[in-house]
């Protein structure tokens, strides 16, 4: 497990670094222009003035370059893990970049289909998929459903039989390999909620069950080690375990598997000094692990990057509202917080920040960038050295927020969620509009009586 962040006064503060000093944590087009941050050739001060803050900014060119790198990584097929960030325009980018799409809810599925994405190129994930999700997958003609438990096998088989369809499935297995990541992001060990453990024979029995059902076709085995993985050695071990399982199926049961989906999880840099795990290195580790047990030419390899595609493309803009000197640290309070940046509270994730509106020249001061919510844990950037001339009204940019920020945003303290804007070649386009208090009031039930014989779902 990655240890919790040290938020004590004695913790060494993270270095504040802009795109010139730490390009790996910023979008590819980010530039410091005389102290003003530009992304996609758009000045962030003008964007914040036009759209307000907090504001999620996405560098379209960055995403498309990462997509190219993954297409050329050596994988046979690349699925974009939409849980990292999804909206209709994002679905169109994924299609234009010739990627497949990984969804894990009926909401993500319906959004993708409504945006015109080919259902045959969609993979449905998730543990405890709802009956409505399995039914929708069959009805839309989803290419692959990753089955995660015995109940899903039975339900999906029934829906497919009723539709007169043979549904392609992958069986998700837990290979028994621990990831070097936060416990909440590790998914490949034996004792997790995802998939069928190989140890104990659970996965083997599930394969035989699926193979005997006429309305299901077992086309592949799926496994996912975890997220934000920077060391490829664990990936290689997991791939070898999966390949050994596939070899056993052929030798013991004459069940031939020709597709392996080995998930995503390639990590990115969040703070200065970190390195991302390159797509080609990630895939090379997978192929090396597979080759320990199988002829590499006998299987096709799919991968599911999410964070690695969109994470570094994102920057969140905030306005400083309060600068308060504490006994030992300075608290820089911004107009957002854990409602739009949950990962620091959820995973003790580390970030840095940089002023986007002007060049600061003061001496570094040990600071915390904190949110405006009623929680002591509402910290967006813990322990950072920010110049002492940072002032109320300054614009702070937090990089590497493209993944798991917008999608995890909440209305805590009845806070409307921020807008999402794409930038490219000097132009800005609205992807998701900002919520308003009026939007939040639309869900008010006004205390209306409920007919218990009806259905409000």
Annotated binding site: 265, 304-307, 343, 347, 375, 404
Taking a C-beta distance cutoff of 8 angstroms, is the pair 113, 103 a contact? Answer: no
Mark whether 374 is an active-site residue: yes
Residue 202, judged by CB atoms within 10 A of its CB (0-12, 13-18, 19+), counts as middle
Taking a C-beta distance cutoff of 8 angstroms, is the pair 430, 419 a contact? Answer: yes
d(CA 235, CA 248) in angstroms, rounded, equals 20
Count other Cβ atoms within 10 Å, centred on residue 331. Answer: 14
Taking a C-beta distance cutoff of 8 angstroms, is the pair 309, 69 a contact? Answer: no
d(CA 64, CA 425) in angstroms, rounded, equals 13
- Spell 261-293 as b/e; 16+ CB within 10 A means b: bbbbbbbbbbbbeeebbebeebbbbbbebbeeb
Residues placed in the known binding site for substrate: 307, 343, 347, 375, 404
Taking a C-beta distance cutoff of 8 angstroms, is the pair 93, 64 a contact? Answer: yes
Sequential DSSP letters for 342-405: -HHHHH------EESSS---SPEEEEEEE-SSS-TT-EEEEEEEEETT--TTPEEEEES-SSSS
Query: 100-103 and 144-147 as β-strands: parallel, antiparallel, unpaired?
Result: unpaired
Residue written as tokens 């453990």? 197
d(CA 260, CA 235) in angstroms, rounded, equals 14
d(CA 209, CA 193) in angstroms, rounded, equals 20
Closest by CA position to 143, among listed 122, 117, 157: 122
Sequential DSSP letters for 144-177: EEEE-SHHHHHHHHHHHHHTT--EEEEEEEE-S-
Cα first-last separation, the chain: 39
Taking a C-beta distance cutoff of 8 angstroms, is the pair 99, 79 a contact? Answer: yes
Chain centroid offset of residue 12 CA:
28
User: Which spans in 200-312 are helix H?
Assistant: 202-211, 232-253, 279-291, 307-310
Closest by CA position to 314, among listed 86, 58, 114: 58
d(CA 424, CA 421) in angstroms, rounded, equals 10
Q: Which residues are catalytic?
A: 374
């Amino acid at each position: 497990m990655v240890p919790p962040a040290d938020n004590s006064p004695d913790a060494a503060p993270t270095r504040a670094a802009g795109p010139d000093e730490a390009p790996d944590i910023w979008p590819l087009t980010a530039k410091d222009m005389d102290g003003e941050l530009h992304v996609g050739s758009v000045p962030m001060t003008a964007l914040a003035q036009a759209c307000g803050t907090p504001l999620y900014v996405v560098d379209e060119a960055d995403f498309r370059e990462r997509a190219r790198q993954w297409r050329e990584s050596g994988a046979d097929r690349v699925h974009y893990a939409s849980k990292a960030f999804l909206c209709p325009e994002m679905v169109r980018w994924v299609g234009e970049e010739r990627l497949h799409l990984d969804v894990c809810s009926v909401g993500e599925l319906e959004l993708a289909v409504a945006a015109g994405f080919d259902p045959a190129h969609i993979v449905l994930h998730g543990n405890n998929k709802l009956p409505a999700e399995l039914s929708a997958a069959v009805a839309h003609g989803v290419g692959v459903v990753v089955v995660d438990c015995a109940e899903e096998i039975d339900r999906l088989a029934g829906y497919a039989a009723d539709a007169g369809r043979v549904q392609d499935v992958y069986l998700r297995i837990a290979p028994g390999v621990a990831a070097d990541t936060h416990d909440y992001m590790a998914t490949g060990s034996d004792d997790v909620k995802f998939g069928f453990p190989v140890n104990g024979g659970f996965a083997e029995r599930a394969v035989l069950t699926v193979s005997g059902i006429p309305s299901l076709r077992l086309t592949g085995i799926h496994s996912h080690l975890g997220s934000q993985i920077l060391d490829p050695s664990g990936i290689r071990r997991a791939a070898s375990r999966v390949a050994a399982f596939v070899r056993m199926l052929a030798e013991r049961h004459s069940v031939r598997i020709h597709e392996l989906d080995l998930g995503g999880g390639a990590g990115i840099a969040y703070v200065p000094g970190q390195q991302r795990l390159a797509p080609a290195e990630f895939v090379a580790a997978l192929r090396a692990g597979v080759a320990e047990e199988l002829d590499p030419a006998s299987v096709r390899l799919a991968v599911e990057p999410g964070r690695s595609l969109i994470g570094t493309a994102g920057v969140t803009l905030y306005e400083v509202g309060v600068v308060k000197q504490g006994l030992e640290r300075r608290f820089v309070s911004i107009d957002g917080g854990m409602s739009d940046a949950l990962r620091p509270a959820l995973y003790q994730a580390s970030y840095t920040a940089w002023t986007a509106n002007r060049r600061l020249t003061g001496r570094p001061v040990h600071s915390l960038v904190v949110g405006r919510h009623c929680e002591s844990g509402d910290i967006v950037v813990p322990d950072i050295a920010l110049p002492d001339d940072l002032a109320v009204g300054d614009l702070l940019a937090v990089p590497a927020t493209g993944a798991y920020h917008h999608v995890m945003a909440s209305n805590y303290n009845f806070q409307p969620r921020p807008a999402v804007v794409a930038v490219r070649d000097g132009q800005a386009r609205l992807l998701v509009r900002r919520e308003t208090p009026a939007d939040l009031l639309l869900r008010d039930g006004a205390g209306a009586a409920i007919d218990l014989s009806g259905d409000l779902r």
